[in-house]
Amino acid sequence: MNLEQHIEAVIQELYGVKFSVELQETRKEFEGDLTLVVFPIVREAKKAPEIVANEIGAALLSNEVVQSFNVVKGFLNLGLDKTGYVSDLKDFINSKLGLPVPKSKGKYIVEYSSPNTNKPLHLGHIRNNLLGYSVSQILKASGIDVVKVQIINDRGIHICKSMLAWQEEGNGETPQSAGLKGDHLVGKYYVKFDQRYKAEIKDLMTSGVAEELAKKQAPSIIKAQEMLLKWEQGDTDVVDLWKTMNSWVYEGFNATYSKLGVDFDKNYYESNTYVLGKDDVAKGLEKGVFYQKEDSSVWINLEDDGLDHKLVLRSDGTSVYMTQDIGTAIQRFKDFDAKGMTYVVGNEQDYHFKVLFLILKRLGYSWADGLHHLSYGMVDLPTGKMKSREGTVVDADDLIDSMIADAASISMELGKIDGFSEEEQMNLFNTLGLGALKYFILKVDPKKRMLFNPADSIDFNGNTGPFIQYTYARIQSLQRKANNVVDVDWLDVIPNEEETTLIKALLEFPDTIEKSARNLSPARLANYAYELVKKYNVFYHNNSILHANEEKTIAFRLTLSKTVGEVIKESMNCLGIQVPNRM
Q: What is the DSSP string of 125-148?
A: HHHHHHHHHHHHHHHHHTT-EEEE
Number of H helices, E strands in the chain: 23, 14
User: Mean pLDDT, to the nearest integer, of 115-130?
Assistant: 93
pLDDT-derived band at 105 (thresholds 50, 70, 90) equals low
pLDDT digits (tens, 9 = 90+) for 417-441: 888 999 999 999 999 999 999 999 9
Contact call for residues 502 and 535 (beta carbons, < 8 A): yes
Residue ranges with strand state E in 283-408: 291-292, 298-301, 309-313, 338-346, 371-376, 379-380
User: Mean pLDDT, to the nearest integer, of 327-351?
Assistant: 96
Contact call for residues 21 and 4 (beta carbons, < 8 A): yes
CA distance 367 to 285: 21
Can you name the residues that pair with 294 across neighbouring β-strands?
none
Residue 175 pLDDT > 70, yes or no?
A: yes
Contacts of 200 (CB under 8 A, 6+ apart): 214, 218, 219, 220
Q: Which amino acid is residue 99, in one-letter code?
A: L
The domain limits of the chain are 3-80, 108-277+321-380, 407-574
pLDDT-derived band at 563 (thresholds 50, 70, 90) equals very high
- The count of C-alpha atoms lying within 13 angstroms of the C-alpha of 496, restricted to the half-sphere facing its C-beta, is 10
Contacts of 283 (CB under 8 A, 6+ apart): 363
Element (H, E) at 559: helix 551-574
User: Phi, psi (5° rounding) for residue 572?
Assistant: -70, -35
DSSP alpha helix (H) spans, 207-267: 211-217, 219-232, 236-260
- Tell me, what's the pLDDT at 387? 47
Q: Which CATH class is domain 3-80?
A: alpha beta
Average pLDDT, the chain: 93
Contact call for residues 187 and 118 (beta carbons, < 8 A): yes
Tell me if domain 108-277+321-380 and domain 407-574 are identical in fold. Answer: no
Cα 517 from chain centroid (whole Å): 10
pLDDT digits (tens, 9 = 90+) for 493-515: 999 989 999 999 999 999 999 99
The radius of gyration of the chain's CA atoms, rounded to the nearest angstrom, is: 29
Contact call for residues 209 and 217 (beta carbons, < 8 A): yes
Element (H, E) at 562: helix 551-574
Contacts of 287 (CB under 8 A, 6+ apart): 363, 364
User: Phi, psi (5° rounding) for residue 110?
Assistant: -120, 120
Decide: pTM greater than 0.75: yes
pLDDT digits (tens, 9 = 90+) for 14-42: 999 998 898 998 998 999 989 999 999 99
Contact call for residues 522 and 509 (beta carbons, < 8 A): no
- Tell me, what's the pLDDT at 391? 53
Residue 104 pLDDT > 70, yes or no?
A: no
Residue 384 pLDDT > 70, yes or no?
A: no
CA distance 189 to 330: 36
Residue 232 pLDDT > 80, yes or no?
A: yes
Contacts of 54 (CB under 8 A, 6+ apart): 71
- Tell me, what's the pLDDT at 383? 66
Q: Which amino acid is residue 537, in one-letter code?
A: N
Cα dihedral 254, 258, 260, 264, rounded to 10, equals 70
Q: What is the DSSP string of 255-287?
A: HHHHHHT---SEEEEHHHHTTTTHHHHHHHHHH
pLDDT digits (tens, 9 = 90+) for 460-481: 889 999 999 999 999 999 999 9
- Angle made by CA atoms 516, 366, 103, in degrees to the nearest 5: 45
Topology (CATH) of 108-277+321-380 = Rossmann fold (3.40.50)
pLDDT above 70: percentage of residues in the chain: 98
Topology (CATH) of 407-574 = Isoleucyl-tRNA Synthetase; Domain 1 (1.10.730)
- Tell me, what's the pLDDT at 63? 82
Weakest mean pLDDT among 135-139, 384-388, 537-541: 384-388
> Burial letters for 333-356: b for 16+ Cβ neighbours within 10 Å, e otherwise?
beebebbbbbbbbebeeeebbbbb
Residue 246 pLDDT > 80, yes or no?
A: yes
Cα 294 from chain centroid (whole Å): 45
CA distance 323 to 312: 5
10 Å CB burial of residue 130 (0-12, 13-18, 19+) is buried
CA distance 534 to 485: 26
Q: Which amino acid is residue 129, in one-letter code?
A: N
Strands 75-80 and 34-37: antiparallel
pLDDT above 90: percentage of residues in the chain: 83
User: Phi, psi (5° rounding) for residue 24?
Assistant: -120, 155
pLDDT-derived band at 239 (thresholds 50, 70, 90) equals very high
Contact call for residues 309 and 299 (beta carbons, < 8 A): yes
Contacts of 376 (CB under 8 A, 6+ apart): 127, 128, 131, 344, 345, 346, 347, 446, 447
User: Phi, psi (5° rounding) for residue 267?
Assistant: -105, 135
Task: Encode 50-61 in three state secondary structure.
Answer: HHHHHHHHHHHC
Contact call for residues 134 and 574 (beta carbons, < 8 A): yes
Nearest to 330 by CA among 354, 357, 304, 308: 357
Element (H, E) at 68: strand 66-72
User: Mean pLDDT, to the nearest integer, of 119-139?
Assistant: 95
User: Mean pLDDT, to the nearest integer, of 562-569?
Assistant: 98
pLDDT digits (tens, 9 = 90+) for 277-293: 999 999 999 999 999 99
